[in-house]
């Protein structure tokens, strides 16, 4: 197997991320989403938010690395991504994020054996309340 399954359960150190208006607006522009919730603070406040809201895939920009996860990057395919929210991410949020390896397994494919790495990133506010979970699947071939 290309990744040692003994890393299942390992967790990265927590990292702090301050969610900035400019980052949200730039991300919304990059994905071509002109929803005013992502760009217009006055509109977002009229809708009940304290500032602009991050698009649902915004946590893609939050990178948390687990030092126990090692593989050759040129051999990796992105197998899937899922985000589950307790509440929207809003500009001004300060999130404490950590990533855990939840599974490593092997499957046979048309081109041979592939190793699947499943990681979950949790983003919590400074009070420890869960804001989102991101579940990422990487395929190492």
In a domain, 43, yes or no: no
CA distance 119 to 8: 9
> Where does residue 6 fall: left (phi above 0), alpha (psi -120 to 50 degrees), or beta otherwise?
alpha
Within the chain, residue ranges assigned H as helices are 21-30, 41-46
Residue 51's pLDDT is 98
pTM score, two decimals? 0.90
Question: Containing domain of residue 105, as a range?
Answer: 5-19+61-140
In a domain, 15, yes or no: yes
Residue 111's pLDDT is 81
Please count the residues of the chain.
Answer: 141
What is the number of domains present in the chain? 1
* One pLDDT digit (tens) per residue for the chain, 141 residues: 789 999 999 999 999 999 999 999 999 999 999 999 999 999 999 999 999 999 999 999 999 999 999 888 899 999 999 999 999 999 999 999 999 999 999 999 888 899 999 999 999 999 999 999 999 999 998
CA distance 119 to 64: 10
Residue 1's pLDDT is 77
Residue 72's pLDDT is 86
In a domain, 124, yes or no: yes
């Amino acid at each position: 197997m290309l990744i040692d399954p003994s890393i299942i359960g390992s967790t990265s150190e927590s990292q702090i991320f301050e969610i900035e208006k400019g980052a949200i607006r730039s991300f919304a522009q990059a994905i071509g989403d002109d929803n005013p919730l992502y760009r217009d603070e006055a509109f977002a406040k009229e809708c009940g938010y304290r500032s602009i809201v991050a698009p649902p895939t915004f946590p893609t920009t939050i990178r948390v690395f687990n030092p126990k996860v090692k593989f050759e990057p040129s051999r990796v395919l992105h197998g899937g991504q899922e985000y589950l929210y307790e509440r929207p991410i809003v500009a001004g949020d300060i999130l404490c994020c950590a990533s855990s390896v939840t599974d490593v397994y092997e499957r046979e494919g048309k081109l041979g054996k592939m190793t699947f790495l499943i990681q979950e990133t949790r983003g919590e506010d400074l009070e420890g309340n869960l804001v989102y979970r991101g579940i990422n699947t990487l395929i190492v071939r």
